[in-house]
Chain A
Amino acid sequence: MTDRAEAPPRSQWAEVWHQFRRHRGAMFGAAVFVFIIAGVFLGPLIWTVDPQFLPRGRDFLNLRDTRPIYVALWDGAAKVSWAHPLGTDNLGRDTLARLMFGGRVSIAVGLAAMALTVGLGTGLGLIAGFYRRLDAPLMRLTDLFLALPLLPLILVASLLFREALAQRFGPEGGTFLLIVTLIGLTSWMQVARIVRGDVLALKEREFILAARSIGTTNARLITRHLLPNILSPVLVSAALGIATAIITESALSFLGFGFPPDFPTWGRLLNDGVARLSSYPERAVWPGILISLTVLSVNYLGDGLRDALDPRIRGR
């Protein structure tokens, strides 16, 4: 372990990359993830329909509630149109364009909130597990955050910060910051408790003792020896955290604390689609599939990363 740590970093990362590329699940996950990212960020350059456009007048009635084009395969009478391959919603907005636009927001919220959650949780967990003196206060803080009810917290936060943030970053930017911060602040506790539990056990292991005995500093102990060993639960938390963040965002929007109503996100599309599940299943199913695929691909990425970083598995 220590030997490898002393090795020149480039060769180590090269080896990690080599291992990562051989991991089929990871490559599959990476491909799907890149595809989704490209779809939502570059897709609008090709599919240039405005997701907020509502048809006017007569067109409105003609263009609303069209079904996806594939429905025509089994239902000849279905209202479909090549102009809207995934159909339109009850206001005549193009579903494909909304999925792309919504994906940008959801992925951004998911990744940012996940990063905050995992960063806060891992950091506090490591510190609490490693420094015995800080353990009690940090864990009581965790208990406090676990007990705080989310909704009133959001009410207070939006009372105090919404307007100030909206003035500085615009209504959407302000909401984004508020939502990401709130989701991050209210979901780091599980990661922190898991990391701390693992660290408590790890720091009594022989290799830590060995590292200590050759005079390794605390900071180096944490980053070089403890962090790599708690990576698996952290990566699992990261994959699950993205899903939680995307869903929580939709719940917030649904309750009226999220983005403005004309601002689609995957979670909100899913939420809106549920009411019409039997007549227009595609409206809930597509955002549902996209959320699941994103989470699944991040999970496989995490699996591959974990395997690639674990020297014991790397040889296998």
Chain B
Amino acid sequence: MTARSLLLGATASFAMATGAQAERGSDGEVRILYWQAPSTLNPFLSGGRKDTEAGGIILEPLARFDEEGILTPWLVDEIPTVENGGVSEDLTQITWKLSPGITWSDGTPLTSADVKFTYEYCTHPEGGCAQQSKFNGITSVETPDAQTVVVTFDSPTPNPHVAFVGMESPILQAAQFADCLGAAASSCTEANFAPIGTGPFVVEEFRPNDVIVYAANENYRKPDRPYFAKVTLKGGGDPASAARAVMETGEFDYAWNQQLAPDIIESLEAGGKGVFISDFGPTMERLMLNHTNPDPSLGPDERAIIKPHPFLQNPAVYKAMSMAIDRQLLVEVGYGPAGKVTCNWVPAPEWYNSDTFDCAEQDLEGANALLDEAGIIDTDGDGIREKDGVPLKVLFQTSTNAVRQDSQELIKQMWSDIGIETELRNINASVFFGGDAGSPDTFQRFYADVQMYANTFGGTDPQGYFGNGLCDKAPTPEKQWQGENIARYCNPAFDALHEELTRTVGNEARGEIGRQLNDMAIEEGMMIPLVHRGTVAARANTLEGVVMNAWDSELWNIDAWRRAD
């Protein structure tokens, strides 16, 4: 009765209000459910998406990405480019001009000093800022006047729109965080839990890992917005129960990050109270192939360090493994509206998406023929092929997650049809993705032959992401097993081409090199791409104005959300 009838009552009474001219706060309360609860509202201290998005309702960047991944001015009037003179010809300087008249929620004006302070805050060596890499290569941030910010880089930077752009890099108020630099960051609980921002809402109450109540910002720059007077962002539970609260009981208006199996999505939509919405960023679910030998009988100085793998670097083997996979089936069973078949490392943005490979159809015959031709056949009659006497038995690990376990079993079955035996393992996500150097079960250690996970990059420029294929990024014991080149792929030609990318300007030229890098990595068996994954959310039918965005925060346009008439 309670929440439900209250909510219905609220909907009924505000339906009349929205019939007239919509104005600030006229639509009452919007209730959002995050099944992972935000822990802090200072995105620089956490880096997790739940915290960044919850804080992003309050704190805003200078520019952000729209639902198509296009850079959109936010606290500025235009995006600086070489053409409009905002970026210097030698690509070492970018000049941002703040829009005039923007104020913080406490009424004081937003100035370039706040932007400069944000840079100092995040790059402080003792602060442990999660977004430090956004400020890589910056030598100085100057403030010639209160509206102008000049960022200087140490070398030509083809993509200068990284710092102060997107939800991970918002602007903090200098006055509020002045005493919170470096090690003092964690003593500023009050500021971290209720930052003053320029966004449409301000914090009314914050209970870490539980619930956040926001109220409309009276000093917001758009006079009629936000339409809602109050936002309740509740956390906790699991995706399925969050979806139920929107689609079946109607207690909530919006549920975040709905990674659910398609048949569950379908049965929930039958409830008729809401719909699932999705948008595609560059997130891609893949199988990483180990380029080192993970044999447990090797000592700790050799296991997953010495190359090569007994059979995975043979093109016939990894190509056959890829051909044997029915990606459409994986999408149909595990992802539904949240997935598309892909054969590429970087499936988006469009200008980086290569069309070299075609992997949409499963081809068991072709895969078997490929292995037969390469002389990798079953010599001892046990149904498993051998290469030079080594049977094709793979250990396939991934993190614990219902959809991934279903995919694991399907892939195991598909590989058994081409004579490859698969042993499955799943590892708790907090161990698998944790970087504990002492744990044998992290994805960096890669004590398995094949592992499945998803990865992505921030913004729309994958230069750093392509860097995950560089030889020197491989995890090794000397580096405490840290490093992004999980497959330990190494090709000097790839490194050279990547070097060229860092010097190339313009989407078209960069896309061209990016596609070559992508093709090289796939062709040489660094990974087997499976599914291009989208971001999915559940939205109540009574909620309007939601524009799903996979390139930035899902709540990026919350000031335009409104109750349907």
Contact = CB atoms under 8 A, between A and B. Distances in A.
A42 interface: no
B162 interface: no
Contacts of B425: 171, 260-261
A286 interface: no
Contacts of A261: 405, 408-409, 424-426
Interface in B439-456: 439-441
Contacts of B399: 256
Task: Give 9 nearest A-B pairs by CB, closest first.
Answer: A256-B400, A256-B428, A261-B405, A54-B413, A279-B267, A256-B426, A260-B424, A275-B240, A261-B426
Contacts of B240: 275
A57 B417 CA distance: 11
A5 B399 CA distance: 58
Interface string A88-103: 0011000000000000
A167 B413 CA distance: 24
A60 B406 CA distance: 13
Interface string A219-260: 000000000000000000000000000000000001111001
A207 B296 CA distance: 60
A272 B402 contact: yes
Given A256-B400, A276-B264, A276-B267, 11 more contacts: A159-B441, A163-B440, A254-B400, A255-B428, A256-B429, A256-B431, A256-B432, A260-B424, A260-B426, A262-B409, A262-B412
A262 B422 CA distance: 11
Contacts of A278: 267
A262 B412 CA distance: 10
Contacts of A256: 399-400, 426-429, 431-432
A56 interface: yes
A167 B296 contact: yes
A56 B417 contact: yes
A52 B427 CA distance: 20
B261 interface: yes
Nearest to A167: B296
B308 to A, nearest CB: 23
A90 B400 contact: no
Contacts of B410: 54, 91
A159 to B, nearest CB: 6
B297 to A, nearest CB: 9
A153 to B, nearest CB: 13
B237 to A, nearest CB: 13
Contacts of B264: 275-276, 279
A178 to B, nearest CB: 14
A303 interface: no
A262 B431 CA distance: 20
A65 interface: yes
Contacts of A155: 428, 431
B263 interface: yes
B329 interface: yes
Given A56-B417, A90-B406, A163-B296, A255 B400 contact: yes
Interface string B332-345: 01000000000000
A214 to B, nearest CB: 58
B423 interface: yes
Interface in A260-316: 260-262, 272, 275-276, 278-279
**Interface residue tally on A, bucketed by range:** 20 to 34
B263 A276 contact: yes
B423 A171 contact: yes
Interface of A: 52, 54, 56-57, 60, 64-65, 90-91, 155, 158-159, 163, 167, 171, 254-257, 260-262, 272, 275-276, 278-279
26 contacts: A56-B417, A57-B326, A65-B263, A90-B263, A91-B410, A159-B440, A163-B296, A163-B440, A167-B296, A171-B423, A171-B425, A254-B400, A256-B400, A256-B426, A256-B427, A256-B429, A260-B424, A260-B426, A261-B409, A261-B425, A262-B412, A275-B240, A275-B260, A275-B264, A276-B263, A279-B263
Given A54-B410, A90-B333, A163-B296, A275 B402 contact: yes
A159 B428 contact: no
A260 B402 contact: no
Contacts of B413: 54, 56
**Interface residue tally on B, bucketed by range:** 35 or more
A159 B267 contact: no
Contacts of A159: 438-441
A54 B405 CA distance: 14
A255 B428 CA distance: 6
A278 B263 CA distance: 12
Interface string B451-493: 0000000000000000000000000000000000000000000
B94 to A, nearest CB: 45
Contacts of A91: 333, 406, 409-410
A260 B423 contact: yes
A54 B410 CA distance: 7
A139 B538 CA distance: 51
Contact of A262 (B402, B424, B429): B424
A280 to B, nearest CB: 9
Contacts of A257: 428
A155 B436 CA distance: 12
A94 B417 CA distance: 20
A60 B329 CA distance: 9
A279 B428 CA distance: 28
Contacts of A163: 296, 440
Nearest to B417: A56
B215 to A, nearest CB: 36
A253 to B, nearest CB: 9
Nearest to A274: B240
A278 B429 CA distance: 28
B250 to A, nearest CB: 15
A52 B438 CA distance: 34
Contacts of A64: 333
A255 B399 CA distance: 9
Contacts of B417: 56
A57 B362 CA distance: 9
B87 to A, nearest CB: 47
Most buried by A among B260, B405, B412: B405
Contacts of A56: 413, 417
Nearest to A252: B428
A255 B264 CA distance: 21
Contacts of B439: 159
A260 B409 CA distance: 10
B280 to A, nearest CB: 24
